[in-house]
């Protein structure tokens, strides 16, 4: 009887110790604050005022798989971007990854790889070039802190004369659909959506004036988020690309080319990851394997993103 009491007491004393040494992800990490902007069909408010969209659904699936829950807030882009730069434990999407922004955040993605182009109303444009456009009396629209503002400025637009800068991405769509601005920058994932809205309103279609670049859209984390946590999110995202979850979400709203590019991304990363693991593994102790995989994964992602950044420059040089 005494020995039974001692056993029960021992179990009671050790149970909290086990829980303390094996914390859940919720206990291990401070909760993340997820921020986004109005940019259908990826992120928008539904009729009940709730944040939804296919990219939001993708983020929520990742939250479930990683046991990291948190509400998604929809804010004007300029405000969301500034919060992500200045506050802790922030995740901002969909954020264009560029050389200028590279060291401002930690990156998980890509969530999308899209072609970005300058569009006008088809009824107002004949084939022309950017020099002619810059000299014409046209009004362009983009949003504050967009990475595309420099392109518009380089072809003759400025915010004191013929360039409208809005606080929300969606406001440019509204102005363009209403015929109040002449030029807007869209990616190929959004262009079909805008053209459908124009046609539904009885307006003309889109005319692609100039193709700018391939844009890589990411989940951008504030710099304080740990590397281990970033690796876990990246691995979960790659798995979603390989298991068909992303395709199931995206295929009803995005062109097949967008989906194919993301699946190709995951397919390209996986063999390189396995190859580096095989090269690094023989001398490792079992206890070091998890850390080794994280280090190797980080190396693969650095190589892959360097290749992505180089490709647009190579195409421009050609």
**pLDDT given at position 86:** 97
Contact 40, 193 (CB under 8 A): yes
**pLDDT given at position 219:** 98
CA distance 87 to 83: 6
What residue numbers bound the domain in which 139 lies? 115-215
Contact 188, 255 (CB under 8 A): yes
**pLDDT given at position 48:** 94
Longest C-alpha distance within the chain, in Å?
96
What Rg value do the Cα atoms of the chain yield, rounded?
24
Confirm whether 168 is domain-assigned: yes
CA distance 55 to 34: 12
Confirm whether 173 is domain-assigned: yes
Residue 45, token pair as written in the block: 């408010």
Total count of domains within the chain? 1
Dihedral over alpha carbons 207, 213, 217, 221 (to 10 degrees)? -140
**pLDDT given at position 119:** 94
CA distance 80 to 113: 21
**pLDDT given at position 288:** 52
Contact 141, 183 (CB under 8 A): yes
Contact 169, 39 (CB under 8 A): yes
Confirm whether 65 is domain-assigned: no
Confirm whether 61 is domain-assigned: no
Q: CATH number for the domain including 119? A: 3.40.190.10
Residue 49, token pair as written in the block: 């005022």
**pLDDT given at position 200:** 83
- Give the CA angle between residues 38, 43, 221 to the nearest 5°: 95
* 50: Cα within 13 Å, side-chain hemisphere: 6
- Give the CA angle between residues 270, 275, 279 to the nearest 5°: 150
CA distance 234 to 304: 13
> Which residues in the chain show pLDDT less than 70?
1-27, 126-136, 270-318
Confirm whether 169 is domain-assigned: yes
**pLDDT given at position 167:** 87
User: What DSSP character marks residue 88?
Assistant: S
Confirm whether 22 is domain-assigned: no
- Give the CA angle between residues 65, 67, 70 to the nearest 5°: 110
**pLDDT given at position 318:** 39
Confirm whether 138 is domain-assigned: yes
Confirm whether 154 is domain-assigned: yes
Dihedral sign of CA atoms 103, 109, 115, 121 in order? negative
SS3 181: coil
Helical spans, DSSP H, in the chain: 2-21, 25-28, 54-66, 77-86, 130-135, 149-154, 169-177, 188-200, 227-242, 245-250, 256-280, 289-317
Residue 91, strand partner residues: 34, 221
Residue 11, strand partner residues: none
């Amino acid at each position: 009887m005494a020995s039974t009491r001692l056993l029960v007491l021992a179990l009671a004393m050790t149970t909290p110790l086990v829980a303390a040494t094996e914390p859940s992800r919720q206990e291990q990490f401070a909760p993340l604050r997820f921020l986004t902007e109005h940019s259908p069909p990826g992120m928008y408010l539904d009729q009940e005022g709730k944040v939804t969209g296919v990219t939001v659904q993708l983020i929520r699936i990742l939250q479930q798989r990683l046991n990291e829950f948190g509400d998604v807030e929809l804010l004007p882009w300029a405000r969301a971007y500034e919060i992500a730069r200045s506050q802790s434990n922030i995740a901002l999407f969909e954020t264009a990854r560029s050389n200028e922004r590279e060291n401002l955040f930690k990156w998980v993605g890509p969530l999308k790889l899209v072609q970005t182009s300058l569009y006008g109303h088809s009824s107002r444009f004949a084939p022309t070039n950017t020099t002619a456009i810059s000299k014409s009396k046209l009004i362009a629209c983009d949003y504050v802190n967009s990475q595309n503002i420099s392109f518009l400025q380089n072809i003759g637009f400025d915010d004191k004369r013929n360039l409208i800068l809005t606080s929300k991405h969606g406001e440019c769509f509204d102005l363009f659909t209403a015929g109040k601005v002449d030029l807007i920058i869209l990616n190929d994932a959004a262009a079909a959506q805008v053209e459908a809205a124009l046609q539904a309103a009885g307006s003309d279609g889109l005319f692609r004036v100039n193709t700018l670049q391939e844009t890589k859209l990411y989940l951008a984390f504030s710099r304080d988020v740990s590397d281990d946590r970033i690796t876990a999110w990246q691995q979960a995202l790659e798995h979603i690309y390989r298991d068909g979850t992303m395709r199931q979400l995206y295929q009803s709203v995005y062109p097949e080319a967008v989906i194919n590019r993301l699946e190709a991304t995951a397919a390209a990363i996986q063999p390189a990851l396995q190859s580096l693991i095989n090269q690094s593994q023989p001398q490792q102790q079992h206890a070091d394997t998890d850390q080794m995989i994280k280090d190797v994964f980080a190396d693969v992602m650095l190589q892959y993103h360097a290749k992505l950044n180089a490709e647009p420059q190579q195409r421009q040089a050609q």
